Every structure is written in C-alpha cells, then in structure tokens.
Amino acid sequence: MTIHARRSLPGLGVRGRIAIIYVALGILPAVAALVLLHDKGPRAAETGLALFAGGLLVFMGPCVALLSRWVVLRDVREVNAFCRMLRQGRCEVAFTLPPEREDEEELLRLKRDLNWMAHVVSRREGELLCSLSETLRSRERYRREATTDALTGVATRGHMECVGQALASSSLPFALLLFDLDGFKGVNDTQGHDAGDAVLRALGDVLRSSCRQQDVPFRLGGDEFGVLCRGMDTEEALRLAHRLRRLFAEKRTGTTMSVGVVAVQERKTCEPGLLEKVFKAADTALYAVKRCGGDGVHAGEVAWTSEKTAS
C-alpha cells in the first residue's frame, strides 16, 4: 500500500510552509500598513494594525491548530498511519516521495528511512516464510519416511505398532491380517530384484486401494505384509482376506498369497501384551496355511491369560 501525502501545494515541505506563514503574518501586514499609511494616513494604518492584532488574539486557538496541522501534524499523522500498518504486518506500505536531495528536511528523511525499514522487514518476512515453508516440507517428508514404506506406499512397521498398541489398549474390537507371498524368493532369484520389487509394489497397490479408510495396511519387512482393521470381527476379516487374495492373484505376478487372520472382540478387561499375542496367533494361522501348500486363508485365536468378556 502506498501512502500519498495530502498537500495543498505538492512538494512543499515544512520549511516552505513556515516561509508562507512568515510572509502571511509578518510581511503582508507590514505592506498593508504602509499602503494605508500612504493612502489614508497614520490613523488608518494604526487602526488596520490594531484590527489585525486583535484578530490574531481572538482567533489564536483555531489559527494555531490549523497552522500546526498544516505545517507538521499532517506529516506526523501520515507517519503514525505508516507505523500502524507496519505493526499490523502490512509490510508493503510505502510513502510516495520525490527524488532524494542532499538538503532534504528531517521529516522527508524520516519517511525515506521508514520506507527502507518496511522494505527490510518485508524482505526478512519473505525469507522467514520461505524458511518456514521449507521446514514444514522437510517435516512432512520426514513424517512420511517414518510412517510410510517407500517401495509400496503402505505403513511402516513402526507406524503400525503405534496404531496397534492404541487399539490393544482400548476396548474396541479389531482384526489383524498377516500376508506372506508364496514363491517370492524364486521370483527374486530367477528374475532379479527389480521383478521382486514389482511384485511387492503390486501387493501394496492392492492393499491401499482395497482396504477401508480406517484400516492400516503395513509392511513388516521383505514379503511380509499385514492389515490392522478397526471394528472388524472374524467373519468380516475372513471376507476381506479372501478378497485381497483374489485381487492379488489377478495381478498375475507369478506368486500367491498365504493369509493368517485373527479378530479380537470388544473387551471389558485389559489383556497384558495383547498386540503381541494377536501377532503370534496370526503368525501361527499364516504358517498353518504355509504347511498346507500356501495360497489360502486361515483364522486363528488369541491365547488369553485373563478372563475375556465380550459384549
């Protein structure tokens, strides 16, 4: 925003305004008195000067207010408005000023300094905003790296454990699905790691696109994956496992998928180490499928050490 000086005489500074007042109050009355003295005589000149002096005394207050505003207060108000806008964060504010001269008055120099100060503040504010934006981008990148598997796009093991511990500590029902790829080692050994990575990405795509928004698909490591499902019972978890297995088979990656499923119902008591027990039960169910040749789904149960009360 640009602040324009509202002057009746453009470019007239404080010195020029004082000079006009000096002429108006000093020289012009003297000239008028000389004219009256010459044309009307001494008495007329005395009367004119007396009326002028009396008028000054009578109208001193309004005249002083008007002249002070005209001489300096208008500039002070402009400076105050400038500082107020700068305080509000409007660093684009600036005075419209004439070209700089060496003999400038102090108020004009002050305005130039304020313009420069606003420029410096605006530049530093821009630098801070850029730095803050970069910090936020870096923070978001680190968060993604900490919570998202770079190859497959599903959650990392660490993020899954945070979500899983929260679920296990609550009374909410949840289910765990564990996946292991059958024949994945053969793909890696015969076709190379690029082909193996393509298989893992295909499974990641299936998990991310086919699970519910509240579910957490994750990668444990290698070709071991899983899904944490909030509010899901055994029957629903088995249906999801069969659907994911079928969708992955449609990718034709040269591998199949073994799935272990465990569901935990709503609880009224806290089970110590519940998440670890759920993982152990799901892992046992998974390897039961493996022992039967793989490419299947099996449901397991948690070994409870305290009384389990389902609602």
CA 305/CA 311 separation, integer angstroms: 18
Q: Which of 103, 223, 229, 111 is nearest to 164 (CA)?
A: 229
Same domain membership, residue 164 and residue 102: no
Same domain membership, residue 165 and residue 94: no
Tokens of 263: 């569901």
In this prediction, what percent of the chain has a pLDDT beyond 90?
Answer: 43
Same domain membership, residue 112 and residue 232: no
Q: Please report whether residue 249 resides in a domain.
A: yes
Q: Which domain holds residue 289?
A: 157-299
Total domains present in the chain: 2
Same domain membership, residue 164 and residue 117: no
Q: What is the largest CA-CA distance in the chain?
A: 135
Assign 130 a pLDDT band (cuts: 50, 70, 90): confident
7 has pLDDT over 80: no
Same domain membership, residue 169 and residue 66: no
Angle subtended at Cα 73 by Cα 86 and Cα 90, rounded to the nearest 5 degrees: 10
129 has pLDDT over 50: yes
Q: Please report whether residue 147 resides in a domain.
A: no
Tokens of 202: 């295909």
pTM: 0.59
CA 118/CA 122 separation, integer angstroms: 6
* Helix pair angle (42-58, 60-68), 10° resolution: 70
Q: Please report whether residue 146 resides in a domain.
A: no
11 has pLDDT over 90: no
pLDDT in tens, 229-246: 999 999 999 999 999 999
Same domain membership, residue 182 and residue 110: no
